[in-house]
Amino acid sequence: MAEATVRSDQNDDVPRLENLTLSQRAHAYLRDEILSNRLAPGAELQELALSQQLGVSRGPIREALGSLAAEGLVTVRPRRGAVVHSLSSEEFLEAYQVREALEVLAVQLAVPQLGPEGLERLQTLTDTMASRAASGQVTEFFEANALFHETFVQISGNAKLDEVYRRLIGQMRRYWRRSLVLRGDLRRSVSEHRGILSAARRGDGEQAAALMADHIRVPQLRLQAMTDDELLEAEASFDRKVNA
């Protein structure tokens, strides 16, 4: 298992807000490294090495790791140090189940409040997904897809829902390749998004929410049908196609 290190040429990217404590600064930096996948799942986080590289004592590093553990991003192992948390297939399925419940609620709350601006934003993102899917730009497709879903959460007006959703997505986003593998045909995904948007345009929040639930259930069903070995092979095949 590789030990995580913070490259010296990245030190300038550490947040330098004067009102952040040392532990908050370390937390913000490490969280960004994890969510961007620069610190990959399973990477070891050594307090001493991190304290030297970030220029702080081990105390703030320990506090930062504790906060990251509370967010589900880090696993702290007694007497063995911390590692970046890796979601098992079962945990990934559970995360999708929670995501489904959150997004159904978000759609129900957001549809009555969308207005012309919100609908235009969703239309633009759907069109972007369609063009990216057609040209095989999977990374850009994923980014537009994520923004489509986040738009409903933002417009829902429920701050607690937004908080819980962002934390969950923070844990799942590192596995975007796995999500796309489980999603399958991107053209089908675009069609499903168009259906959700169409129902939202009609002001039918319940239908839009039902379609969102069906949409998010697709990767869940595929995940339940695959063995761990099949999933790993599918991810490897996906990577080969993307990097070809």
> What percent of the chain stands above pLDDT 90?
41
Token pair listed for 107: 């759609």
Q: In this predicted model, what pLDDT tens digit does every residue of 147-204 receive, in sequence order?
A: 999 999 999 999 999 999 998 988 888 777 778 888 878 899 999 999 999 999 999 9
pLDDT at position 131: 96
Residue from 187, 193, 174, 192 nearest 235 by CA: 174
Give the max Cα distance, the chain: 57
**Higher pLDDT residue, 36 or 226?**
226
Query: What is d(CA 141, CA 130) in angstroms, rounded to the nearest whole number?
Result: 8
Domain ranges for the chain: 8-84, 89-243
Class (C level, CATH) for 8-84: mainly alpha
Please tell me the pTM assigned to this model: 0.74
Judging by DSSP bridges, how do beta strands 44-45 and 74-77 pair with one another?
unpaired
pLDDT at position 115: 93
Whether 72 shows a pLDDT value over 70: the answer reads yes
Contact criterion met (CB below 8 Å) for 187 and 145: no
Flag the least confident range among 15-29, 51-65, 94-108, 114-128: 15-29
Q: In this predicted model, what pLDDT tens digit does every residue of 81-98 receive, in sequence order?
A: 888 887 788 888 999 999
Name the CATH superfamily for 89-243.
GntR ligand-binding domain-like (1.20.120.530)
Average pLDDT over all residues of the chain: 85
